[in-house]
Structure 1
Amino acid sequence: MSIPMPAIGLGTFRLKGQTAIDSVRTGLELGYRHIDTAQIYGNEAEVGQAIAESGVAREQLFLTTKIWTDRYTRDKLIASLEESLARLRVEQVDLTLIHWPSPDAAVPLAETLGALAEAKRRGLTRLIGVSNFPIALLREAIALVGAGEIATNQVEIHPLLQNRVLAEFARSQGIHLTAYMPLAYRKVLVEPVIQRIAQSRSATPAQVALAWLLQQGYAVIPSSTKRENLASNLAAAGLQLSEAEMAEITALDRGERVVNPDFAPAWD
């Protein structure tokens, strides 16, 4: 039986080699059941090894990967996903995302989503979705496959960049959002408001930031190489912030984006 996406996942961006193996292995030991990787991370084989050696049953895991931008054509996408499955040592991933909109719209979205839908029909992936899609492209995706087929839009969201216009649109369409970079490369952790709330709650600043996201219905995929931080992040689900605390954190929004490559779309 397949499981729904757990609200807290383990991100693996920037984790390489043995570091990636150790982080995923430790995360699985601690109870993480949602692992997020991508073709461009160059660590699918390590993630697959950690999962294979963990003793955790495949059906208990929610595994996400993302197709990179040079594999968006119909002839390349499915073949690249099959290669990802081989590296991950699984027959199917739970979720496959388009990692970024096609740079300069080089490949029509209809072709890429069509190939992704075909991969789903073939059983290579259980669910499909998108990442880094602003409203205009999300509208296009909805027109092509229907909102019900888009399992999530994975985008940068944290207290310093709240993406409220996009979040409101996604909510209106019934599309779930996954917040990546939820701690903004630790920038969130030094905010005095978050530190004060953490101290008053006997929590960590990371737990406060993650709880703020979780209470809004987002999934979060923080990453860490330290057992203590991995355990602490997972425990954020048990922290319930008050309306006043939520409002204080919401007031921190200043549009501070930390991921903005030169091929990024026009953000909302």
Structure 2
Amino acid sequence: MRTAPGPRPGPGLPAWAYATAGVAALFVAVPVVGLLTRVPWTRLPALVTSEPALAALGLSLRTASASTALCVVLGVPLALVLARAALPGLRLVRTLVMLPLVLPPVVAGLALLTTLGRRGLLGAQLEAWGVTVAFTTAAVVLAQTFVSLPFLVLSLEGALRTAGGGYEDVAATLGARPTTVLRRVTLPLIAPALGSGTALAFARSLGEFGATLTFAGSLEGVTRTLPLEIYLRRETDPDVAVALSLVLLVVAAVIVLATRLGRSDVRGRG
């Protein structure tokens, strides 16, 4: 069995590269350490299990799970088309899909609000049918999906472009239908990328703030997710804000570590 490849041998790195890399690592690590030094460890269990905190955490987990599932349902076919189809206008589609990566979250929320709000492009018609989207739990899910979808699509599109198409060609030659080829050949080939992309989408959904606040508001038990609860508590009760921030930090660290271990395992088996 092969082991994961180590650092590529080379002529060595200049001293300034190590020094700059150290500064970059500290730039990320020191704020995390600073947060940890402010955590009220003795009161931590009580702070993170208070009723508002549990309500916000439960809402965040439910909406992030729903938005991640929606990202998978929409993102897998979209990545397939972007990577494998030969259609006019795909470059424009790819650009539009990647826009949420660079848009300020508040702009993303405003775009959703002007589209699905009560007076929005589509929201006005939905309102006439008795369907309200903005400032509901559904709005939280849509806001999270909007900002998280590109993470999944990027992961899958890159994997689809490098995955061996020969297996798919053989399966098609043997008479397998396109859906069968996708289910039995393509998806298993890109399973590691699907897993990491799904994890990144979930993490992004869990930490979403700006688009959610703009499009869904901050109604306790309805749209107030954990990041919104942290924002509100930072002025009235900083200890609660820090404790809840630690929860998000731990969840993010676990997701990143699981993603890295999954990739290392795939390389080791390769």
Task: Please state which band the TM-score falls in when normalised by the shorter chain.
Answer: under 0.3
Determine which structure has more spread, i.e. the larger CA radius of gyration.
2
More strand by share: 1
Q: In proportion to residue count, which structure has more helix?
A: 2
Normalised to the residue count of structure 2, the TM-score between the two structures is 0.23
TM-score after normalising by structure 1: 0.23
Q: Per chain length, whose mean CA-contact separation is higher, i.e. which structure has more relative contact order (CA < 8 Å, sep 6+)?
A: 2
